[in-house]
Structure 1
Amino acid sequence: MLKCIAVADLRVGMYIHEFCGAWMDHPFWRSKFLLKSEKDLQRIKASSISELWIDVSKGLDIAVGTASASPEVVAAAAEASLLAAVQSQPISLAVSMEDEVQRAVKLCASAKTAVINMFADARMGQALQFEQAGELVEEISDSVLRHPNALVSLARLKNADEYTYMHSVAVCALMIALARQLGLNQGQVREAGLAGLLHDIGKMAIPEVVLNKPGKLTDNEFAMVRGHPQAGTRMLLDSKQVGGLVLDVCLHHHEKLDGSGYPHRLAGEQISLYARMGAVCDVYDAITSNRPYKPGWDPAEAVRKMAEWKGHFDPMVFQAFVKTVGIYPVGSLVRLESGRIGVIMEQQAGSLLTPKVKVFFSTHSQSPIAQEVIDLRQLVGHDKIVSRESAETWGFRQVDELWSGLSS
């Protein structure tokens, strides 16, 4: 049985099922483990995590009289809050999702090469040349304009060993899409995209053995990783080729609205709009991507969890972000009221709750069914999404191939 408890009530002997904070806010490479030492307990209490889930079937329970919330209650509250905050937003599409995915495949390949070369210069301490970066931002911007979900969704499918590079491409696309959703002008959209592309360049100051370490980081290694915003800002300042907006996002994309972020513990209005945007886009792509030490979350689950992180994101920016990617982003696995399971194929104009879904499995017969793309907008009153599902729980493989049409 799972229980959500305050960190203050955590004790040695409890089995930690999941942290209820941001993905990088704790120094543990695992989120499921038996808490065995007082040292690890104090490390958790010293972090910015305030709540976590424990599994009382695998470890100690909370003390009698201590309040806890069930998973269903927490999930329902987060869902209700999210639905109440996010209003429908029409989506203007220049091309079909299928057509833009084919273009985006080629763009991802060229973008990856460009970012690898640019970041290699940074790692070698060579002078940074950003001419190609500007051209790349324009190409990504054009793709997002043609279809806001194609490149954003495709960039999520990166391998763990190419994460650092494709993460920059993904955050660039997300920043551009979010900037458009917020109604920023063309110049601001372009700068937001460049900020997304360069926000993590400071990671090139971190040894690759630490950056790609599959196990638990030491305290010194964790501090080294947390120093990447300052390292990146120094690199960009030395280049004398980017403006203040890009520098600000590089330095402050890990700040939080409640002042618990880093490196400067800024709070509220001290954090610029663009840094707030960067925080949302950076976290979303990080937690939905496979990493050397953690598998990525389902996109819809990631949106739900981010909605629970009180004090982390600017509510207005986060609501705009959800309008951009959807409550059920492309690639999310969902169950319909009819008992069918499918994967989200595309967002729909006018409603975040009625996307196109490719169904492929029946929970009634517990067997595959003929694949079919259904438009939930046309089935209002007859069928709807009733829950998110886990591919791992069902044993489904190659779910991403269903929506992307690409082989693994």
Structure 2
Amino acid sequence: MLKKIPIEHLQIGMYVHDLCGSWLSHDFWRTSFIVDKPVILNKLRAGAVQEVWIDTSRGLDVPDSSTASTPPAAFTYDTTPATLGQELQRAAALCEEARDAVLHMFSEARMGQAVDLNTADTLVSAVCNSVERHPNALISVARLKTADNYTYMHSVAVCGLMVALARKMGMDAAQVRQAGMAGLLHDMGKSHSRLEILNKPGALTDEEFKHMQQHPVKGYVMLQGVVEDEEVLEACLHHHERMDGKGYPHGLSAPDLRPITRMAAICDVYDAITSNRPYKQGWSPGVALQRMAQWCPAHLDAHIFETFVKTIGLYPIGSLVRLHSGLLGVVCAPAENSISTPHVVAFYDITAQRMLQPAKLLDLNKLPQERIVASEDPTQWPFTNLEALWQKAAASAA
């Protein structure tokens, strides 16, 4: 039975199920554990955590049950629907915490420690809840990674994309969590890749590329001892395989690839090509979808990719688009029931060759005379503040 108790009522012999509050309020990366030593108890009491959930079926109960509160039948975190603006703030904080958690997981793995599944499970839960509150916020924020933190934030971003895609595909709660876990862990093998190759600011040599091609196998071997879910393990091992059998590490083709592996391939590719890397600038979301469509069905599963487009929108947040009226704009929010009529911040008049002062926020769903006629490649334009434009507009949609 789960009970929430004040930290001062925690005793040696109790089993901590979860620590209440932000991960940044404590330095316990394993959030479920038995309090078996005075040093652990004293460290918890001296920290910023005010309350904890204990599991009385795995440890001692509180002497007086009136001091504890029991959770509802389904113990969940906050999944109250939120606007894009509201969830963007929460997603930004979550991404910071998640980056630190994944960095710690990679560091531990480099030192030969087993992956902490309690941390991974907590992180996946937080991502699932964010996506349930608003499916676009975390995905949009996680894309705004730097080249320096790419490896860690890529895992968080793919986790969010997998969760959102699984929900759009109609999977049940357990399958959604499974997809999120596969996304989070898919690149753990890179913890055993040589750092000078992983962070190289230029193109890899053939030898270096062969070294990097081993990360799925290294991840699979590492995770076998702690992950029991075979589908998660297969997604980690085979997310670089292709439908036509020309991928790696084993050259498998479509009949041998499970749906979750095909999903991981799509989510991994999308986040990789839309992210800034040490050796290249990322493509805009709209350009990325155009390129990925060309890679179906040889590389990617065409049917799942179609659902992926519906998940993030035909014009994802951050896309630079040309409007029928001759204006340029940046997509700042999706439409409620349409993938082709998002909210756009129009900021430049192509015909007059001038910036709009101020920029115009347009809901294309309510403007039948206006429409998107093309996705534009930002590298072909001299604008450098596109991310700031959509973030400001989206944040105001609270």
> TM-score, normalised to structure 2's length?
0.77
Alignment of 1:167-186 (within 5 A): 167-186=154-173
For the 8 Å contact 1:300–1:388, the answer to whether it is kept is yes
2:291 is equivalent to residue 309 of structure 1:
no
Structure 1 match to 2:243: 257
SS at the partner of 1:286? Answer: helix
- Residue of structure 1 equivalent to 2:191: 204
Determine the structure 1 residue equivalent to 2:50. none
Deviations 1:18-40 (A, max 9, x none): xxxxxxxxxxxxxxxxxxxxxxx
Letter in 2 for 1:203: K
* 2:292 maps to amino acid: M
Deviations 1:184-236 (A, max 9, x none): 11001001101100000001111110001012212211101011000000110
Task: State yes or no: 1:228 paired with 2:228.
Answer: no
Gaps of 5+ in 1: 1-92
Give the secondary-structure state (helix, strand or coil) at the position aligned to 2:286.
helix
- The equivalent residue for 2:286 is 300
What displacement does 1:391 show? 2.4
Aligned equivalents of 1:242 and 1:146: distance in 2?
29
Give the structure 1 partner of residue 260 of structure 2.
274
Q: CA separation in 1, counterparts of 2:174 and 2:334?
A: 27
Cα separation, 1, equivalents of 2:309 and 2:228: 29
Contact 2:286 2:376 in 1 (8 A): no
Matched-pair contact (CA < 8 Å) for 2:227–2:233: no
Cα distance in 2 for residues equivalent to 1:352 and 1:300: 12
Q: In the alignment, which of 349, 360, 370 is matched to residue 372 of structure 1?
A: 360
> Which aligned pairs between 1:5-404 and structure 2 lie closer than 5 A?
94-238=81-225, 240-310=226-296, 311-369=298-356, 370-380=358-368, 382-404=369-391
Please, which moves more after superposition, 106-115 or 210-219? 210-219
Aligned to 1:51: none
TM-aligned CA deviation for residue 96 of structure 1: 1.3
Quick one: which amino acid aligns to residue 155 of structure 1?
Answer: A
Give the SS at the match of 1:405: helix
Task: Report runs of 4+ in structure 1 exceeding 6 Å deviation.
Answer: none
Tell me: higher relative CO, structure 1 or 2? Use CA pairs within 8 A at least 6 residues apart: 1
Distance 2:379 2:264 in 1: 30
Identity of aligned residues (%): 50
Between the aligned partners of 1:175 and 1:317, the Cα distance in structure 2 is 11
Shift of 1:242: 3.9
Shift of 1:127: 2.4
Secondary structure, aligned partner of 1:174:
helix
- Partners in 1 of 2:346 and 2:203 — Cα distance? 39
Give 3-state SS (helix, strand or coil) of 2:211's partner.
helix
Render the CA deviation track for 1:115-152: whole Å, top value 9, x for unaligned. Answer: 00011011111222121110110111111111111100
2: distance between equivalents of 1:397 and 1:268? Answer: 41
Quote the offset at 1:155 in angstroms: 0.5
Q: 1: CA distance between counterparts of 2:227 and 2:251?
A: 27
Matched residue of 2:203: which SS? coil
SS at structure 2 position matched to 1:191: helix
Q: CA–CA distance in 2 between the matches of 1:307 and 1:217? A: 26
**1:268 maps to amino acid:** A
Which one-letter code corresponds to 1:131 in the other structure? N
Inter-partner Cα distance in structure 2 for 1:129 and 1:350: 39
State the alpha-carbon separation in 1 of the partners of residues 193 and 127 from structure 2.
27
Q: Is the CA contact (8 Å cut-off) linking 1:154 and 1:404 kept in structure 2?
A: no
Measured in 2, the distance between the counterparts of 1:350 and 1:150 equals: 17
Displacement of 1:388 = 1.4
Name which of structure 1's ranges 184-193 and 119-128 shifts more when overlaid on structure 2.
119-128
**Which residue identity is paired with 1:363?**
I
CA distance in 1, matches of 2:339, 2:164: 16
CA RMSD of aligned residues (A): 1.3
Q: 1:189 to 1:391 in 2, by over 3 A?
A: same
Distance 1:388 1:241 in 2: 41
CA distance in 2, matches of 1:175, 1:157: 17
Q: Which range is displaced more, 277-286 or 229-238?
A: 229-238
Mapped partners of 2:165, 2:184: distance in 1: 14
Contact 1:354 1:375 in 2 (8 A): yes
The TM-score normalised by the length of structure 1 is 0.75
User: Alpha-carbon deviation of 1:308?
Assistant: 0.4
- Distance in 1, matches of 2:227 and 2:338, equals 41
Counterpart Cα distance in 2 of 1:405 and 1:194: 31
The residue type paired with residue 167 of structure 1 is H
Give the 3-state SS of the residue equivalent to 1:342 in structure 2: strand
Number of residue-to-residue matches in the alignment: 312
